[in-house]
Amino acid sequence: MIVFLIDADNLCASAWIEEAFQKLEEAEGGISVRRAYGSAEKLKGMSSVLHARAIRPFANLSMSKNTTDVALAVDAMELSWQLPMPTTVVIGSGDADFVPLVVRLRERGIRMVCVSEPGKMSPEAEHWYDQVILVGRESASHEMSSPSSELSGPTASLAPSPAKKVVAKKVSAKKVAKKNAPSKKTAAKKTVAAVKGKEADVAVKIEVQHILAAVPTLKTGRPQPLGDVVKLLHDAKLLGKNATSTKFFKKYPGWFELTPDKQPNKVKLLNGL
């Protein structure tokens, strides 16, 4: 029996959850237990994939402290003692908080798999799992298909050409002009730099999608209380405990605006996706 428990405060993009199911079913087989844990607001935003994949939602208790991780861990331990015992338990989160749970279930002979998004997988938690599956890379590569195609052609000219014997002879004006023309290597380097710039733009856009998934009210374009937004970003683990909100949003120029300039208390989305 395969169990898939999703920390919806960490793995919340519907498209990437669908990708996770496809990869798991291909590698592991049918998934018997499917559950998602998170805030009511976050689960509501995932309603389409929850319905399509028959995932049971478990909303957090309404408290000041996030209860998602503990609720998931309690259910995982309970399921591990049921009959038939799960052969594989998949945790949909890259959070290191789940390592003690992973250790206990592995001691019971259960294979442990982690599904996480690029950038959210804790490096110190990775080696505790039997397998780690990253989702979201296919979405990123699909959006970057145009830059990749540009790279495939000119990049080939970066390879050094075989050395040729130099024969002393008169050089025509036409050959001199050709010699002074920009080299293929220079053109290729410029193309690679342009592609890297486009890839960076795609990466920023993906990060903005994460922010909007965690704080859907920003999609209205109206200013939102900065304190409320920061709390949701903390819950989604997109903003570190010691990180400042002003520095966080300054990483996305042209996407978000903080007001007023001095001691901002509002944030709004400038560009829709």
What is the chain's pLDDT, residue by residue, as a tens digit (273 residues)? Answer: 999 999 998 898 899 999 999 999 998 899 999 999 998 888 998 999 999 999 999 998 876 667 889 999 999 999 999 999 999 999 999 999 999 999 999 999 999 999 998 888 999 999 999 999 999 865 444 433 333 333 334 433 334 445 555 555 555 555 555 555 556 666 666 655 665 566 667 777 888 888 888 888 888 888 888 888 888 888 788 887 777 888 888 888 888 888 988 888 898 888 765
Tokens standing for 29? 């087989």
Q: Where are the beta strands (DSSP E) in the chain?
A: 2-7, 33-38, 56-59, 88-92, 111-116, 131-134, 224-225, 256-259, 266-269
State residue 148's pLDDT score.
37
- The DSSP output letter for 87 is S
Handedness of CA 229, 234, 236, 238 (dihedral sign): positive
Task: Give me the helices (H) in 108-239, please.
Answer: 123-126, 137-143, 145-152, 173-180, 184-214, 226-235
In sequence order, the 6+-apart residues with CB closer than 8 A to the CB of 100 are: none
Q: How far apart are the first and last CA of the chain?
A: 39
Residues in the chain, overall count:
273
CA dist list (Å): 45 to 9, 12, 55, 93: 11, 8, 14, 17
CATH code for the domain defined by 2-140: 3.40.50.1010
Distance CA 250, CA 254 (A): 9
The answer to whether residues 34 and 4 touch, using CB atoms and an 8 Å cutoff, is yes
Task: Report pTM.
Answer: 0.52
pLDDT at 150: 37
**pLDDT given at position 19:** 94
pLDDT on residue 142 = 41
